[in-house]
Amino acid sequence: MSKYIKQLVQAQLAKKVGDETIDDFLVVSMKGVGGIDNNVMRGALKQKGIRVLVVKNSLFARALRDRKMEGAAALFSGPCAVVYGGDSIVDMAKEMIAWTKKVKAIEIKGAFTDGTLFDSKGAEALSRMPSRAELLARDVACVLAPGARVGGALLGPGGRIAGCLKSIIEKAEKQAA
């Protein structure tokens, strides 16, 4: 590849890293993945907002260096693809772990998120974490729990009074009959 073409590719990668804000990503090896499996996987991931980009390691490392993310360059050895997008790094990790079970040739090399580098074991650990939506649901449950307790405390005595009144009315009806 000529120097001019490398500069064009590197500029394109730097633009992609900068414009699409690729802050969190997984690095995977797609070596040995067939064309049909590749297309099916990419289509399924695209529906979830996740993208797969096969990169030239040295050019992507330079693009990362420009964004002060050079720590992630350690993940790039051999044929690599960058998986990015989706709601969070956890969602990407969960999806890619599921795909590694379907397509055995896919290998997760690691992850990079918030300036932290994870190896393959760390990326698998990310997949076991709760997703952003699950964490938000937990937060909402924590916020609503005290209100539910107050509501229950207010309704509890009223229910007991209603039960007592009902039993008094039933006794009075039996005595009248």
Can you give the pTM of this predicted structure? 0.69
Nearest to 103 by CA among 131, 87, 81, 134: 81
Per-residue pLDDT tens listing for the chain (177 residues): 677 887 777 777 777 666 656 778 888 988 888 888 888 888 988 898 888 888 887 777 777 777 777 777 778 888 888 888 888 888 888 888 888 898 888 889 888 888 788 888 888 888 888 877 787 888 888 887 787 777 777 777 777 887 888 888 888 888 876
The residue type of 120 is S
Residue ranges of E strands in the chain: 25-29, 50-55, 80-85, 107-113, 116-119
The residue type of 131 is S
In what helix (H) or strand (E) does residue 171 lie, and over which residues does it extend? helix 132-176
User: Which residue's entry shows tokens 């649901």?
Assistant: 137
